[in-house]
Amino acid sequence: MPADSQPHQILLCLVGLPGSGKSTLAEKFRQIGWQVICQDVLGNRKACEASCSQALAAGRSVVIDRCNFDCMQRSHWIKLARQHQQHNGGGMVHLLALCLQLPVEECVARAERRGNHATLAPGDAAEVISRMWAQWQQPTTHEGFHSVLLARSSAAADEMAAACLYHIPHPTAAKQDVEPAVHLPLAAAAGGAGQRQLSPAAAAAYQPPHQRQRLQQSQAVHTSAHASAAGGSGNIVPFPARQGGQPPGPEDDLPRRHPWTKHRHDVLSSRVLDAGVDPQRPVLLFDANGVLTSHTSVRRSTGQHEARPGLHHLRRLLPHYHIGLFSSASKKTIDVAVPLIEAAAGPGGQLFDRRLILNRTDTFLAPAAHVAGGGKDHDTVKPLTPYFSRLHRVLLVDDDAHKSVVGEEHNMVLMPSWQEGDKQDAMVERLVDVLVALAESVGADESGDVRNWTAQASAQLKEAVPVVA
């Protein structure tokens, strides 16, 4: 596969009888930002196709939650992905089928126990499942999938899903439950291409790495040294691969752990910070340096913090969000910054929920791919998954896109960094306007997903940056 056609999205087609656990798996993907296309919810295949096309056009990875029990049923999704690539200017979409082939009697028993299914009554389960099984066709790569995984137990399916969700090596699974290894194409190294054999769940984890990007919202601040060479435009600057070598693999796109970090980035820590907050209001985390206060470089040169103009507008966010901080600075620095910001925000009590303040010790070191692409070895990222159980209700406002980890990009709103000494800066007011509108769009329903609106919010903030003559 040529390096310039690396897939940035996955279309995961679930294949399984009613009661095989498809919707349970799909929910795990939905919680980290994938678009779930469920016919039980949307009503018919045409509606599913329309929703799938919209999600692909929006740049999201997609899970098809349907039975998809024969080649014809699955062909619709393969066709949609190809149309997206060929006719809509879309990037490469990796087509992955995950087949949940559990025993028929187990599927029937599960379906008969469900009392609230939208389309299948318990009394009809045995007949419908038997009829579907008689027409069953197992998916293969000959249909157009890049890879096909087969799970013969719920445990095996969970492991494969976890690998795909978090881009981690596959834990050892019982051989009788998992189909033999499959082959996935790898991006060509300079001068050649190759194939690597992966276990099925490692294959599930395969999503050729996002080219790490520094999406700097202000034109002259933190500009990557590789910007012009990489051919980036606007504020999107892709990190190049290591010169003359293989593009980084999935493991290179994972955050590296600090020596003091005791938990993995992809599992909850002992500090579940949203356990005690009202889920009707999303959690809103701000970076400090460069977003609400003077940038780190300015602070180091002057020896002092300075509050960004317009912080009094932050008070307007309190009815809509639980407000916190997530900074790569030390706890000592944050202990200075918090009262500075709250004083600049004016009267009204505490602005920040003290339960929602994270500092350098809560970060991870940036992935190896980031360093290979020109980033600093000590750069950090800000994983949200370890600290929040409702990821679809968490926003991170930062001025540096590399701070998000793979799978959490849609949780970030990119804020233009504060130019040193600009007393006329009005971006905080604009940010608050955008965030209030976002909260109103999502609504108070705790199932509302803030990640559907972050790209639009970031674009609005970018457009608001004054043009320097």
Determine the Cα–Cα distance for residues 286 and 420; give it in Å rounded to an integer: 19
Residue 234: predicted pLDDT: 26
Residue 169: predicted pLDDT: 32
Alpha carbon separation from 295 to 313, 401, 418, 433 (Å, rounded): 20, 15, 7, 23
Is the separation of the CB atoms in 260 and 361 below 8 Å? yes
Residue 91: predicted pLDDT: 66
Is the separation of the CB atoms in 65 and 161 below 8 Å? no
Strands 283-286 and 322-326, bridge-based pairing: parallel
Among residues 222, 225, 179, 221, which one has the least CA distance to residue 204? Answer: 179
Is the separation of the CB atoms in 225 and 411 below 8 Å? no
Residue for token pair 């045409």: 46
CB neighbours of 426 closer than 8 A, spacing ≥ 6? 309, 310
Residue 451: predicted pLDDT: 92
In the chain the first and final C-alpha atoms are separated, in Å, by 43
Alpha carbon separation from 326 to 47, 241, 384 (Å, rounded): 39, 29, 10
Is the separation of the CB atoms in 274 and 395 below 8 Å? no
Determine the Cα–Cα distance for residues 194 and 118; give it in Å rounded to an integer: 46
Alpha carbon separation from 108 to 112, 113, 175, 319 (Å, rounded): 6, 9, 25, 47
Per cent of the chain over pLDDT 70 is 71
Determine the Cα–Cα distance for residues 162 and 165; give it in Å rounded to an integer: 5
Alpha carbon separation from 191 to 3, 194, 211, 448 (Å, rounded): 11, 11, 20, 47
pLDDT in tens, the chain (469 residues): 333 334 468 899 999 998 888 888 888 888 888 899 998 888 888 899 999 999 998 888 899 999 998 888 899 999 898 888 877 665 678 888 899 888 888 888 988 887 666 567 777 788 888 888 888 888 888 788 888 888 888 888 887 777 666 543 333 333 334 343 333 332 222 223 222 333 333 333 333 333 323 333 333 333 333 332 233 322 222 222 223 333 334 456 677 777 666 666 666 666 789 888 888 999 999 999 889 998 655 555 455 678 999 999 999 999 999 999 999 998 998 998 999 999 999 999 999 999 999 999 899 988 888 888 888 888 899 999 888 888 899 999 999 998 998 778 999 999 999 876 688 899 999 999 999 999 999 988 888 899 999 999 999 999 998 876 5
Residues 337-371 have pLDDT tens digits of 999 999 999 999 999 999 999 999 899 988 888 88
Among residues 288, 414, 311, which one has the least CA distance to residue 363? Answer: 288
| CB-side neighbour CA atoms (13 Å) of 368 | 8
Domains and CATH numbers, the chain: 3-205 (3.40.50.300), 213-463 (3.40.50.1000)
Among residues 369, 382, 458, which one has the least CA distance to residue 59? Answer: 458
